[in-house]
Structure 1
């Protein structure tokens, strides 16, 4: 019985790819989901896993061939009479079925990482080689640009091998380790002990670069030593060459920047310093915020709001609200409602630039910035303009807790049209928030502080908060920004306006 290996879906508008590398040759034994070959499209590299265990019977599309979606790449000859044990090769063992006392091995594979996320860093292993594990027990944690992903054990047994150690970068569907089934304590332990020794002598192998990358390097007049490969096992891809060429062109302009160079450090000071590699999340935050400053014509306008009425309304109904809805009534629902109200009047603050077009959003997906132990994340509350106070408070509480636990998915942090950032929870009195691209507006909330205010000719102590709206001046004019902030102020100083849509 044979199983066909076909080209998978390559992505929107992508109809063909080039076969870059075959990792197996005809006659090699393969296991289900083991990577067989790598395809290269105009944009991304796609790894093709084996659809079944068996033997690679033949290769239909050789390296360098151009293939379309669903085209036949190869055929797998399945071994119907034998289990997975006979397919997986074993060192120094004859080609016979494994003894009945041994159990099958199961690969630990990187799970799906989310839309547009192609790689992750192994941050922590909770188990070490030789440890017994139960099915679905957490083995390790991966860190992507946005979220942390826990990897459960696919089977019960013994962790026989770790192929991707802490700090290593792995692609989606890459192999992390191996679980060997524990047929008996006597059989499992020796296997675990031998695993590290067996893995250690694995020799480094020459990695063939993508054909298109070789061509691009020849055209650019550079060699592989000048390019950092991001493909499997460090293989150089076409986009790596483009990045190296772009970096070389940008180098002269970047060289004079003194801010990027550390000052002199004495040996005594160096001994008291600690150098820690930035997490992927922190690197992404830094890049996105700097890109935002470099792209948008960012400007900030300020106002202040008297929180007397909101605080009085909250104090009057907070107990009844909690009893009926099971969630506390906070200030964020008032601000979310006020912003949704203002965005209807000033829609350009809820829009984004796409090339030479302005895309107006007839809905509000509200981003609520949340600080976590690993960095700033912005979960999105979808269709916030159609939600009640109770629904907003529940969504904020639930997503805030998931953010702190590192459980947010990529989908929960994408698609926002406007963002609210509350620096007041940390005591900030005034700040200028940075836009969350491609959004055109972000509201900064701050600390509520009692201040003397002139009210009807008299000085009264009022709970005041400074508000800051950072906006993209390419799409939002000063009049629109000021109008938006005034409408937020009016709605908060007289919450009845929200009920009457005034």
Structure 2
């Protein structure tokens, strides 16, 4: 009996992942709950365990492939643990020196018929070894390296960087056999010996370094980049990072995509000033530059637009006087901290205010599933938390049953997990409504985008003292703009405005929360 291995749910805002590393090969014996493949998203890395004991009989997705949630990864034949391992296919090896072997575009999925040629890691005349990466290809789903099918010399490159090639097209030609020795120019035997001596690494000689203008450090960076998997290597290339300076947090110290996103480019050292003639604006370089959008970036742009097109999304605005909440915090903050071991923040007030409003306007706490509306009788509030790896939305389960202290403690715990990268997938699943606080970054006003399939999201903003009219007088009050984006397919304008007004009333008169009004 065969058991399928599929991509698990990765969180409501995560629909796909990259295959980072297979820990087992076809034919290997596996045991239930044993990690067999590692997946990588923009937010987390997760190991997929074996669903049963047996033998891994097939691998449907290769390292570097991008797979969607519930996609088939492979299959396990149950009850075959004692069976002999499936023999691995032998890699092709040329039978005669001097034979020409074509490097072709590999198949990378049923729906992928073409790719863009990225960076060539070798140039014509270079020596190559079997399985050594030669060139990177970029499809609308993933970036991948094409390995050398044989050892020998790269004779001819037929597809240049930026070209679009179809599956099966010839990228290059390799002549098998030992690479020809490089001329040492002028018959300098000592120099020639220096070029091939040493540790056996394919390091350039000082003469080659001088001729190419590349330093040994630059060569080390290129080798470090070549060792990365496709996803982090693409981030390194786009951001101009030094891969040898990135600390890897993956298995065996491997650099993950999240590590590359977290790393920051080092500032360039200032070069000594040179005496030169005054420059005209035209001498400073081109005013603009046109760069072809990568296939991966095209896909991201298309899917963001599709997400925006799915819902009939509108945003309604209001403002709230934060005087009462701020006075309540100042009055009880020390006592609250002493008793509960956590500071009393604004977010617990907003969570409680939203829960009360959701009970009055249940459409905002519902979602559309085909032609059905699913009304939620539980209140799991997602709270957007910023981290070095990006924005994540952990969920406060049953927020209506939690006290203010429990909410503050849980939010603080999620913040620590987000910064340390310890958030689990289940921490970010199942929310019914989301609160996003752009005010911590200084935002005055925004239109938050829905966290599908939810039907509403509240945007908080910075508190700013502004003149307002109170009882016929102009007074200064700490004011905050609120923005509520909603799916108009399920939430009417009246419901959205009512929801936001209730949130405003609950915050301006916090006693309403205590009295459940």
1:375-417 CA-partner distances (Å, limit 9, x unpaired): 2211111111111100100111111121122221221112111
Match of 2:30 in 1: 51
| Alignment of 1:34 onto 2:29 | no
- Is contact 2:318-2:500 (8 Å) kept? yes
**TM-score normalised by the chain length of structure 2:** 0.50
| Alignment of 1:428 onto 2:443 | yes
- Give 1:290 shift: 3.1
Match of 1:416 in 2: 431
| Alignment of 1:297 onto 2:312 | yes
| Alignment of 1:147 onto 2:137 | no
Return closer, same or farther for 1:418/1:283 CA change in 2, 3 Å cut-off: farther
Match of 2:3 among 8, 19, 22: 8
Q: Partners of 2:468 and 2:316 in 1: how far apart?
A: 21
Q: What is the SS of the residue equivalent to 1:330? A: coil
Return closer, same or farther for 1:479/1:273 CA change in 2, 3 Å cut-off: same
Return closer, same or farther for 1:446/1:170 CA change in 2, 3 Å cut-off: closer
Match of 1:384 in 2: 399
- Give 1:492 shift: 0.4
| Alignment of 1:400 onto 2:426 | no
Return closer, same or farther for 1:396/1:284 CA change in 2, 3 Å cut-off: farther
1:15-41 CA-partner distances (Å, limit 9, x unpaired): xxxxxxxxxxxxxxxxx973226xxxx
Return closer, same or farther for 1:51/1:110 CA change in 2, 3 Å cut-off: closer
Q: Partners of 1:390 and 1:276 in 2: how far apart?
A: 51
Return closer, same or farther for 1:229/1:459 CA change in 2, 3 Å cut-off: closer
Match of 2:338 in 1: 323
Q: What is the SS of the residue equivalent to 2:3? A: coil
Q: What is the SS of the residue equivalent to 1:433? A: coil
- Is contact 1:292-1:434 (8 Å) kept? no
1:204-242 CA-partner distances (Å, limit 9, x unpaired): 9999979x95xx99xxxx7999988989999xxxxxxxx
Q: Partners of 2:514 and 2:501 in 1: how far apart?
A: 18
- Is contact 1:369-1:378 (8 Å) kept? yes
- Is contact 1:145-1:284 (8 Å) kept? no
Q: How does 1:107-256 map to 2 (within 5 A)?
A: 119-120=39-40, 144-148=41-45
- Is contact 2:459-2:483 (8 Å) kept? yes
**TM-score normalised by the chain length of structure 1:** 0.52
- Is contact 1:146-1:410 (8 Å) kept? no
Match of 2:462 in 1: 447
1:334-361 CA-partner distances (Å, limit 9, x unpaired): 0000000000000110111100111111
Match of 2:237 in 1: none
Q: Partners of 1:317 and 1:273 in 2: how far apart?
A: 57
Return closer, same or farther for 1:35/1:431 CA change in 2, 3 Å cut-off: same
| Alignment of 1:437 onto 2:456 | no
- Is contact 1:111-1:173 (8 Å) kept? no
Return closer, same or farther for 1:442/1:224 CA change in 2, 3 Å cut-off: closer
Q: What is the SS of the residue equivalent to 2:317? A: strand
- Is contact 1:346-1:480 (8 Å) kept? yes
- Give 1:294 shift: 1.4
Q: What is the SS of the residue equivalent to 2:308? A: helix
- Is contact 1:303-1:467 (8 Å) kept? yes
Return closer, same or farther for 1:354/1:450 CA change in 2, 3 Å cut-off: same
Q: What is the SS of the residue equivalent to 2:400? A: helix
Match of 1:340 in 2: 355
- Give 1:9 shift: 4.5
Match of 2:85 in 1: none
Q: Partners of 1:307 and 1:223 in 2: how far apart?
A: 56
Q: Partners of 2:342 and 2:466 in 1: how far apart?
A: 30
Match of 2:381 in 1: 366
Where in structure 1 are there 5+ consecutive unaligned residues?
1-5, 13-31, 38-48, 53-69, 71-108, 114-118, 121-143, 152-166, 175-198, 235-243, 246-265
Q: Partners of 2:306 and 2:322 in 1: how far apart?
A: 35
Q: Partners of 1:149 and 1:275 in 2: how far apart?
A: 34
| Alignment of 1:488 onto 2:499 | no
- Give 1:111 shift: 6.2
User: What is the aligned-residue RMSD (CA, Å)?
Assistant: 4.7
